[in-house]
């Protein structure tokens, strides 16, 4: 068990714009919680859906994919075909070996990518309009970043509950 204070209580992150510190803190907190939670998690339970809940594998895939997609929208870009294919495959085991370690490493890499992008964000651009999805729904740069943080933490909570249920069996 981690005895350190939560990430947001450890002080500001170096080279991180002040207004984006809470987003970065949430992503780092999510990373720490996922690493601890998934340490030693059995492969055979990765795609289990207790009582119809989303599987741990889905949550781990979705956490990486949604960060990638939301940060793409924040840059004002459309999703690539690879991103759309990844979205369609979330929650589905593939023919290739996907284990807990690979999924956690993929999430860690996506957090690193997000932090690098946050660090280079000019705070003056945070209120610039952005659109989301095929429907081009309205948002802003900061709206997308904040949603990335809160959506990530929401799925971390769901993953925690699902893993705890599965480990009771």
Please check the confidence at residue 130 and state whether its pLDDT lies above 70: yes
H or E, element range at 140: strand 137-140
Q: What is the pLDDT of residue 93?
A: 75
Compute the mean pLDDT over every residue in the chain, rounded to the nearest whole number: 94
Place of tokens 């949604």: 66
Inter-residue contact 70 to 144 (CB < 8 Å) = yes
Q: What is this structure's pTM?
A: 0.94
Q: What is the pLDDT of residue 3?
A: 84
Compute the average pLDDT of residues 136-162.
98
Domains and CATH numbers, the chain: 17-168 (1.20.120.450)
Inter-residue contact 123 to 110 (CB < 8 Å) = no
Q: Where are the alpha helices (DSSP H) in 39-169?
A: 56-74, 81-89, 100-119, 141-168
Quick one: pLDDT band at residue 59, thresholds 50, 70, 90? very high
Residue of 2 and 125 predicted with greater confidence: 125
Please check the confidence at residue 87 and state whether its pLDDT lies above 70: yes
> Which conformational region is residue 2 in: left (phi greater than 0), alpha (psi within -120 to 50 degrees), or beta?
beta
Please check the confidence at residue 97 and state whether its pLDDT lies above 90: no
H or E, element range at 25: helix 21-38
Looking from the CA of 87 toward its CB, the CA atoms found within 13 Å total 12
Q: What is the pLDDT of residue 92?
A: 78
Phi, psi of 132 (to 5 degrees): -125, 130
């Amino acid at each position: 068990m981690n005895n350190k204070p939560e990430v947001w209580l450890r002080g500001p992150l170096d080279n991180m714009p002040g207004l984006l510190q809470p987003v970065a803190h949430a992503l780092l907190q999510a990373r720490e919680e996922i690493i601890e939670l998934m340490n030693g998690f059995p492969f055979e339970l990765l795609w289990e859906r207790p009582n119809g809940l989303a599987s741990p594998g889905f949550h781990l895939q979705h956490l990486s994919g949604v960060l990638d997609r939301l940060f793409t929208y924040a840059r004002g870009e459309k999703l690539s075909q690879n991103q759309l294919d990844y979205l369609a495959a979330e929650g589905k085991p593939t023919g290739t070996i996907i284990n807990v370690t690979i999924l956690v490493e993929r999430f860690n890499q996506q957090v690193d990518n997000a932090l690098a992008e946050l660090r280079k964000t000019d705070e003056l651009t945070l209120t610039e309009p952005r659109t989301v999805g095929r429907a081009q729904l309205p948002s802003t740069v900061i709206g997308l970043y904040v949603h990335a943080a809160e959506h990530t933490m929401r799925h971390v909570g769901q993953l925690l509950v699902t893993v705890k249920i599965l480990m009771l069996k």
